[in-house]
Amino acid sequence: MVSEVPTPFHEQVRTAEDKVMQLFAFVAEDLAVATEALLSNDADALTVLSERESIIDGLYRELEGLVNDQLEVRGPMASDLRLLLSVLRIVPELERSHDLVVHIAEHATHSLGGELSPRSRGLVQTMGDTAVEMWNQATNAWWQRDSDVADVLEERDDDLDGLHAALLAELASGKMSLPVAMEMTLVARYYERLGDHSVNITRRVLYLAGAEEGSSHLTKGTER
């Protein structure tokens, strides 16, 4: 049996895939770091994550250039076209998601962790754990082209929304100072949006698997 020799095009596609997986890993790993930093008042974590942000911005530009070059140089087959278009559409979401992670770490510099009620600390930790789990599932879904994960993450996103509502209720209970409650309201929103982004990205896997643009399955959950 003669093995197929990789073409420059397919080598570029593999390069794009590797860079996308790097972005996925950065979001999931750094989200766990940001949550720990927030609860432990670790201001140093922000420096590390901000440096990572510069790497992500570079990867974003590289991927956009790589994909646009391939679209201009040749007319890709339908499956390759779906992949290239999907990369163009998820990379901005990955970049924005890491921005949210950095925003969480920024609040760690305000020493909020020690002023949170025990219940709010537990809710933040659970929100962080849930969001990390969702991002790990989204990463695996993209890598394995597993279109079934989108529905699973819709359910997990409902769980995250419930935690978000519970945290807001705790923040409104008067157990913490108003400035702390206001800051943590923003943080809670960051976690909620990170869940939304993970769902949106797994919907792109449906497109990779053959769903048509504009189909109800593909667009469900993307208006967030």
Question: Residue 153: what pLDDT?
Answer: 94
> Interhelix angle for 44-73 vs 78-108, to 10°?
160
Residue type, 72: E
Q: How confident is the model at residue 16 (pLDDT cuts 50, 70, 90)?
A: confident
Question: What does the pLDDT look like over 95-152, one tens digit per residue?
Answer: 999 999 999 999 998 888 889 999 999 999 999 999 999 999 999 999 888 888 989 9
Higher pLDDT, 68 or 36: 36
Does the predicted model carry a pTM greater than 0.85?
yes
Backbone angles phi, psi at 106, to 5 degrees: -60, -35
Mean pLDDT computed over every residue of the chain: 87
pLDDT of 224 over the 50 cut:
no
CATH number of 8-219: 1.20.58.220
Q: How far apart are CA 51 and CA 135, in angstroms?
A: 21
Q: Which long-range contacts (CB under 8 A, 24 or more apart) does 53-62 make?
A: 53/98, 53/99, 53/102, 55/26, 56/23, 56/26, 56/94, 56/95, 56/98, 57/95, 59/19, 59/22, 59/23, 60/23, 60/91, 60/92, 60/94, 60/95, 62/19
pLDDT at 81: 79
Q: Are the CB atoms for 202 and 138 separated by under 8 Å? A: yes
Res. 216: pLDDT tops 60: no
